[in-house]
Amino acid sequence: MTAPIEPRPLRRDLRFILADGMACSLMVGVGESYLPAFALAMGMSEIASGLIASVPMLVGAALQMVSPAAVRRLGSYRRWVILCVLVQAASFLPLIASALHGRIPPLPLFLLASLYWASGLGAGPAWSTWVGWLVPRPLRARYFGARSRWCHAALMTGLLGGGALLQIGSDRGWRLEAFAVIFLIAGAARFASALFLRGQSEPRPVPRIPRSVPLREFLGRIRGRADGRLLLYLVGAQATAAIASPYFNPYMLEKLAFSYERYMTLLGCAFLGRVALLPALGRFAHRFGATALLRAAGFAIVPLPAFWLLTRAYEPLLAVQFVTGVAWGAYELASFLLYFDAVEEHERTSLLTTYQFAHAAGTVGGSALGALWLATMNESTTAYLYLFAISTAARALTLLPLARVRAAEPAFAPAALVAPGEAFDPRFVPKEKSP
C-alpha cells in the first residue's frame, strides 16, 4: 500500500512560489528582453538580432525533451527544476564576460542563448506539475491571479531598470558595460529563484511518476481530444506571430532609431496593458468561460502587426503597445487556465515538454520565414512593413483551428482574481494542511 503523503507547510510554499515567480520575472525583464539589443550592440545584423530570440529556443526545446526521463531518474520534480534553474542562472556569466570583453562571435552567443532556453524550458513542465500539488485547488484562482500581477510588476521593473541603465550607459560611452550590469542582475535574480525553489516542499512520496506520452499518441490527440486541439491552436498562434514578432526590436532600434529609453518604454507599455486589465480579463473568463476569452484573444492578436503600418510616430505606438499587451495578456491567461485543467496531471510534464518543442519549432519556422523575407528585400524599411502585413494575414488563418477548441472549463474559476490594487496576503491562507 502506498504510504500517505506528508502534510506540507502551505503558507511557506505560497510565499516561496510568489518570490520565485517575481525573481524569474525580474530576470526575464532585465536580461532576456535585451538579448536582441545585445546582439545588435555586438555588431550583428538585424536579421541575426531577430533570430537570437527564436532559433536558440528550438535548440533548447530539443534539449529539454529529456525532462520526463530526468524527473523519473532523479525521483523528484524539485531537484530537476532547481538544477535547470541553476544552469539558466549560470548561462549569464559568459554573457557578462563577453560584454566586458567587448566582443562575442555569433555562434557562441547563439549557443549561450540555447543553453539559457534549454534550462528554462526544461524546468517549465516539471514545475507546472509540481506546483499543481502545492497550491490547493480552492486557492488557485485568487493566488495565481495575484501572483501574476506581482510577477508582471517585477518584469516591468526589470525592463524599465534595464532600459534606464542602457540609456545611461549609451549616453556616457559605456554601453557594453551597462549590458554586463543588467546581465549580472539577471543572473543574480535567477540564483535567488533557485533558493526560493529550494525552500518549497515536495510531496513524499511523489504522488505519481510522470507518464511519457509517445509522439504518435500526441499527434492523434490533435483530432480527437481537447488537449490536442488546444495545443494545436497554441502552436499555430505562436508560429504565425513569430513571422514578425522577433523583428519589432531591430525595427524600433534601427529603422525608427528610437533611443533605449523609448524602446524600453514601448516594451513597458505592452506589459502595462497585461497588468492593468488582468482583473477585467478574469471577470470575463468567469462570466463567459476561458474558452470564450481565448477566442476573443485569438481574434484580437490577428491585426496587431497591421497597426505598425499606420504610423511610425512614437506616441501612437504607445497606444498600439498597450493594446498589444491586453490582447496577449488575455491569450496567456486563457491558455494557462485551459491547459492547466485540460491536461492530465500525470501526463502534464510529458505533454508540455512535447508542446514546447512543437511551439519552438513553429516559432523558429515563422521567424525563419521573416528572416528570409527581410534578406530578400535587403532589410529595408519597406520590407519590415510588408512583413507585418504578412504576419497579419498568417495570423488570420489560425482562426480556423481556434474554432475547434472545445477544452473543458477550468476547475477553478478566475472570478476570485484580485481587484485593482489588492495584493495577495498570505495571512488569509487557511491554516489547514493540504494533502
pLDDT score for 41: 86
pLDDT in tens, 45-89: 777 776 777 778 777 788 777 877 888 888 888 999 999 999 999
**Total residues belonging to the chain:** 435
Burial class of residue 400 in the structure, from the number of CB atoms within 10 Å of its CB (0-12 exposed, 13-18 middle, 19+ buried): exposed
Q: Is the pLDDT assigned to residue 286 strictly greater than 50?
A: yes
Q: Is the pLDDT assigned to residue 434 strictly greater than 60?
A: no
- Report the range of poorest mean pLDDT among 231-245, 310-324, 327-341, 374-388: 327-341
Residue labelled with grid coordinates 490582447: 327
Question: 18: which residues sit within 8 A by CB, 6+ positions away?
Answer: 146, 147, 150, 424
Query: Who wins on pLDDT, 145 or 395?
Result: 395
Q: Ranked by mean pLDDT, which of 276-280, 286-290, 295-299, 311-315 comes out on top? A: 295-299
Band (pLDDT 50/70/90 cuts) for residue 189 is very high
Band (pLDDT 50/70/90 cuts) for residue 248 is confident
pLDDT score for 172: 87
Q: Would you state the cell numbers that stand for residue 42, as one nine-digit string? A: 555586438
* Domain extent listing, the chain: 10-417
3-state SS, residue 31: coil
Band (pLDDT 50/70/90 cuts) for residue 419 is very low
Relative orientation angle of helices 260-276 and 137-172, to the nearest 10 degrees = 170
Q: What is the CA radius of gyration of the chain?
A: 21
Q: Is the dihedral of CA 137, 401, 326, 249 positive or negative?
A: positive
pLDDT score for 5: 41
The one-character DSSP state at 412 is: S
Q: Is the pLDDT assigned to residue 383 strictly greater than 80?
A: yes
- Whether 145 contacts 414, CB under 8 Å: yes
pLDDT in tens, 92-108: 999 999 999 888 888 89
CATH superfamily of 10-417: MFS general substrate transporter like domains (1.20.1250.20)
